[in-house]
Structure 1
Amino acid sequence: MAILAVAAADHEFRLWNNCPFQIWPGLLNNPNKALPLNGGFALDKYQTKSFRVPDGWAGRVWARTNCNGAGHCETGDCGNKIECHGAGGVPPVSLAEFTLDGWQGQDYYDVSLVDGYNLPIAILPIDGTFRKVGGGQYDCNQAGCKSDINAHCPAELALKNGGGATVACKSACMAFNTDEYCCRGAHNRPETCKSRDWKVNYPAIFKQSCPDAYSYAYDDTSSTFTCHSNGGIKTGYVIKFCP
């Protein structure tokens, strides 16, 4: 049984907290996929933690901030607990998203700000674990958002703490809940969810700060990265907070 368990866990993830403060990463599996590390843990400043996931894994990773002893977090909270146990993070939150071993063995990964933003985040394939196919901009390169969007978040999108500081920036969909900004109803297709229908192009604020991250639901062409394993070595990824 132990041999089977080791063989199934093929992809390494390294979570690196490069922030000058503690964070609490959250992990969420897609349906019928494994949940790593019970879904969450604390990670001290400048520390790393590694874990492995099985072939075909899909899910997301995010950072929670300013969590208290009871597990309640100022951003990214998953229900007042340190181990999220299958609960997602309350937006606004920056997300690292993965679908591994897809069509022809290809991995897909991206950083999404569709649910808003709380911290800078980047995804980097681990040296020696991948091979490029085509060599384009989105082939095994770094995905992410290095900018501090909180510093210039519009007031109508800002999530503030008790001290009045902006700790996260909402998406327009979260802030206004309209079909136009949420890409639903008559706007639920790429050709109908367009900036011409937005009173203010809030997604452009996110895109200008972080051009390689998803800014709204149909922002696929400039946000989705792909990668392939290096022969018998499975792809591994670093998820870096405050890159």
Structure 2
Amino acid sequence: MGENDKYQIRKIEIVDAVAFPLRYQRFGAQNPSLIHHHCLTPTSLNTPAARTNSTKLRANTRRAQHSQPLFTHCLVRLSTREQASSQEAKKQAMATALATVVVALFLAQIASAATLALYNRCGETVWPGIQPSAGKELLARGGLQLAPNRATSIRLPPGWSGRVWGRQGCKFDAAGRGRCATGDCGGTLYCNGAGGAPPATLAEITLASVPTAQDFYDVSLVDGYNIPIVMTPVHGSGAHCVPAGCVSDLNSFCPAGLAVRGGEGNRVVGCRSACAAYGAPQYCCTGRFGSPQQCKPTTYSRLFKSACPKAYSYAYDDPTSILTCSAGASYVVTFCPRHR
């Protein structure tokens, strides 16, 4: 919270020179120790020189005791509760404004092509990575930087398919070389077709190639988890055209054997899949477990599914995780959808 968020200019009525100090104290009766005793004269509110103490103000108001009530503006230090309320209101306003921006992005482009909007609601910068499927067009050079509470949009070619994920804790030089704590794609800002290193939460999509077909999309934890993601269809239709995603913070209760630590304080920054952690066929759905009939949910995949019922928890989690929309839909991928 910035220093400016702790103060607010408020309008206060002055009846007379004697009453003003009392009125001023009553104004801050709930938190008298937090009141900042500086006021501004009504005639020059925006002038720094107008700031004066209550003694000077009493002298000015003494001349107006028999006139109509005088109002002044005081710079008041907000209580701790008021500061928190003010910050929350600002965040809600920001969220509403950015949601409007995302919708506007769609409305500007939806008529001619499907659009993918990326919206970062996290409290820190996210570096989205974009990997096309084999033979599909590379979009936005495969990666970009997205500051907190910012959104961007990318037009999707017909029939495009690929995946999107969020990289965190990245540091790049002027040439775009560096590293990310999670989701790194070979040490570059622009992934250029490379995928993200597990663990990484994935948003996957395959657009319809013809108008009569359907889009298929999902959010997957098969490669592990690093950041909450929700994928929301816009202007699509169908019984299964609903948001997909994982809004829970799996890092906060990731089993020790799956946890990946890094960054400041060596905190948990990602949660690996059991396949990546142990490599056993029953976790990877390989070998004699290479079919839906043989590869069943495990203790680890059940943990993921319990926390994120609208996301893929293991390779054959199709029935409850893959979603469809009518052709022509657009999609919003939101990072940290519950963050305020």
Q: How does 1:135-154 map to 2 (within 5 A)?
A: 135=239, 139-154=240-255
**3-state SS in 2 of match to 1:123:** strand
Measured in 2, the distance between the counterparts of 1:61 and 1:117 equals 13
Structure 2 counterpart of 1:178, from 265, 272, 280: 280
Q: Structure 1 segments of 4 or more deviating over 4 A?
A: none
2:303 aligned counterpart, secondary structure: helix
* Amino acid aligned to 1:35: L
Partner residue of 1:239? 333
What is the percent sequence identity of the aligned residues? 47
Equivalent residue pairs, number: 222
Q: 1:160 aligns with which of 239, 253, 261?
A: 261
- What do residues 165-214 of structure 1 show as CA deviations (whole Å, max 9, x unaligned)? 0000000000000111000000000010124xx5xx10011000000100
1:131: how far off?
A: 2.2
2:303 aligned residue (205, 208, 211): 205
Q: CA deviation at 1:10?
A: 1.9
Contact 1:117-1:169 at 8 Å conserved across structures: yes
Find the structure with the greater CA-based Rg.
2
The answer for unaligned runs of 5 or more in structure 1 is 1-5
State the alpha-carbon separation in 2 of the partners of residues 182 and 131 from structure 1. Answer: 34
Write out aligned runs for 1:1-243 (5 A).
Answer: 10-69=113-172, 70-101=177-208, 104-126=212-234, 129-132=235-238, 135=239, 139-161=240-262, 163-195=265-297, 198=298, 201-229=299-327, 234-243=328-337
Q: Contact 1:183 / 1:189 at 8 angstroms: preserved in 2?
A: yes
Tell me what 2:104 maps to: none
Q: What residue identity is the alignment partner of 1:41?
A: L
Under a length normalisation based on structure 1, what TM-score does the superposition of the two structures give?
Answer: 0.88
More helix by share: 2
Q: Report the secondary structure of 2:248's partner residue.
A: coil
Alpha-carbon distance between aligned partners in 1 of 2:209 and 2:317, rounded to the nearest angstrom? 20
Provide the rounded CA distance (Å) in 1 between the counterparts of 2:252 and 2:237: 37
Q: Cα distance 1:54–1:11, how it changes in 2: closer, same or farther (>3 A)?
A: same
Cα RMSD after superposing both structures: 1.6
Task: Say which is worse superposed, 176-185 or 68-77, in terms of deviation.
Answer: 68-77
- Tell me how far apart the structure 2 counterparts of residues 12 and 172 of structure 1 sit (CA, whole Å): 34
Unaligned ranges ≥5, structure 2: 1-108
Question: How far off is 1:102 after superposition?
Answer: 5.3
Shift of the alpha carbon at 1:105? 1.5
Q: Deviations over 1:25-62 (max 9, x none)?
A: 00000011111101001000010010111110000000
- For 2:277, give the aligned amino acid: A
TM-score, scaled relative to structure 2: 0.63
